[in-house]
Each structure stands twice: as C-alpha cells, then as structure tokens.
Amino acid sequence: MKLKALLLLALMSVAAAGQAQDKKEGEKKEAVHIYNPNANAQADLNAAISKAKKEKKNVLVQVGGNWCIWCIRFHELVDKTPELKKLIGDNFEWVLVNWSPENKNTAVLSKLGNPGRFGFPVFVVLDGEGKVLHIQDSGYLERDTEESKAEGKGHSIKKVQGFLNNWTYKALHAPTI
C-alpha cells in the first residue's frame, strides 16, 4: 500500500511540475506583433506598388495575423535566413496585410482575389501596376516528411526560394531564348 501511495505521489509531482513548466513557458512568451491590425492595408499596398514600379521589382504580399503560428514561423524563417532576407529585399517590396477578427481587410483582400481561401499565411505577388500575378498557398512551401523529421515542422528554405525566384521581376521579364 505504501508503495502505491509513493508511486501515486511521484506521478502527481511530475504532472504538477510539467504544468508549472508550461505556465512558466507561457508567461515568458511575449505576444507577437508582426501584423498591424490598425494599418491602412490599401495605403501600404499603394506605396509598395509605386516603389516596386520605380525599382523594377514585384510586390510580395503576406496575408496573415499575429494569431497564426505558421505566419510567425514564416516570418522567423526569413529573419534567421540571410539568403531569404536578401532574396526578398533585392526583388520585392514586402507588405504584411493583417487578417484577424479585429480587421479582416475585406475590401483589400477582395481586390487581391480573396487569397484567404487558401489559409494563412498566404502570399500574393503583384506587379508594379498592382495586378495580381500569383497567389501562393503556403502549405506547398512546407517541409516534406523527411525534412520535417530532421528539422521539425516549418517552411522549406528551398521551396520558399524556388517560389520567390519564379516570381521576381527579372524572372518574369527575362529575354526569351
């Protein structure tokens, strides 16, 4: 009987320690503020389109919200991967458009072809006139099973690079052979 009581007490202690650890980790995490629900998305897009036209770039629109773990993971991947950061900086005007209960940006997203139908994040590539060139479901940019086993869940650097390289201004305006 004493052995069962000790075993039960030990299990309860381990469970309590695990809950305490979860709370500590939850408390340490700060709210993420990548997207601005109060931003004027149309004004941000207009500025990016104008700049893209002048600099012979395209516009990369990332639609998502601070509530979206995959949106945050993508943003962190770009931040920690110099090649991706450079690829985007050299070839795109990057605009983040919020979609959340506070601001669904319905009018703007309607003009962009309702990209949220693919889930979040979702990427829209615009030209220097503001024309939608492509809508990219980010699910196709995730790591495959083997990559996930080795690196965990997330977006594949290779797949993201391939997507971005295919939609640069230079790729779309390359001389034909």
| Tally of structural domains, the chain | 2
Is residue 13 over pLDDT 80? Answer: no
Same domain as 167, residue 99:
yes
Range of the domain at 12: 1-30
Is residue 112 over pLDDT 90? Answer: yes
Is residue 98 over pLDDT 60? Answer: yes
More confident residue, 155 or 32: 155
| Residue 177 located in a structural domain | no
| Residue 35 located in a structural domain | no
Mean pLDDT of all residues belonging to the chain: 87
Same domain as 59, residue 24:
no
C-alpha closest to that of 123 among 72, 86, 164, 85: 164
| Residue 69 located in a structural domain | yes
CA 50 to chain CA mean position, Å = 23
Same domain as 96, residue 64:
yes
- pLDDT-based confidence at 1, cuts 50/70/90? low
- pLDDT-based confidence at 153, cuts 50/70/90? confident
- pLDDT-based confidence at 2, cuts 50/70/90? low
Is residue 96 over pLDDT 50? Answer: yes
pTM above 0.85, yes or no: no
Burial class (CB in 10 A: 0-12, 13-18, 19+), 57: buried
CATH number of the domain where residue 160 is located: 3.40.30.10
**Whole-angstrom distance, CA of residue 9 vs CA of residue 36:** 48
Mean pLDDT on 166-171: 98
Same domain as 120, residue 99:
yes
Is residue 65 over pLDDT 50? Answer: yes
Same domain as 88, residue 4:
no
